Amino acid sequence: LKKDVKFQVISFGNRENLMFKNGPRKASFSNKTYAYRWIITRVAYQPETLPSKAIMDSMFNRDIGQIIIISDGQISRKEPCPFKSTNYSIDKCASEFNKERANQDLGNNQLIDNRVTIDAVSIGENYCNTFSNQNNWMGKIAKQNGGRCSVLR
């Protein structure tokens, strides 16, 4: 991350925890060091994988330009989408929201592309496989939102 980019780290499972309680911060050396320490001290096991709220809350924040999802689990149960239709899956919810952020009017015939890129790292199991009809949530959300998904075994 470049030092002028703002970032946030969110741990999610059956609950979510924000590293910076008051919102994203610039990627200074000290903030990146703090993030590294914060990540390695998180409890890895949580009984569920419920990412929708954390992902969409991050997308609603205008300071966020990229989300990197790191997970070792399949989504535990269907969660409502807080944008447009509650029937959307998280990948559809995020991509529909991103479509609206694509060409925002600043006035004076100026448009800005304010989409959020979503990348993903699947730990252990391959949740990146977009050719599969199931267990592929990370691959789908990354592909539909300009990102990449990688498997770390």
Backbone angles phi, psi at 72, to 5 degrees: -120, 15
Q: At 70, is the secondary structure helix, strand, or coil? A: strand
pLDDT score of 85: 72
Instruction: Report pTM.
Output: 0.83
Q: Specify which residues 151 forms β-bridges with.
A: 122
In 3D space, the residue among 22, 14, 102 whose CA is nearest the CA of residue 6 turns out to be: 22
Residue 142 has pLDDT above 80, yes or no: yes
pLDDT at 93: 93
Give tens-digit pLDDT for 33-90.
999 888 878 766 678 888 998 899 889 988 888 898 988 888 888 888 887 777 788 9
- Is 53 in contact with 33 (CB distance < 8 Å)? no
19-36 residue pLDDT tens: 888 888 898 999 999 998
Antiparallel, parallel or unpaired: β 25-26 and 6-7: antiparallel
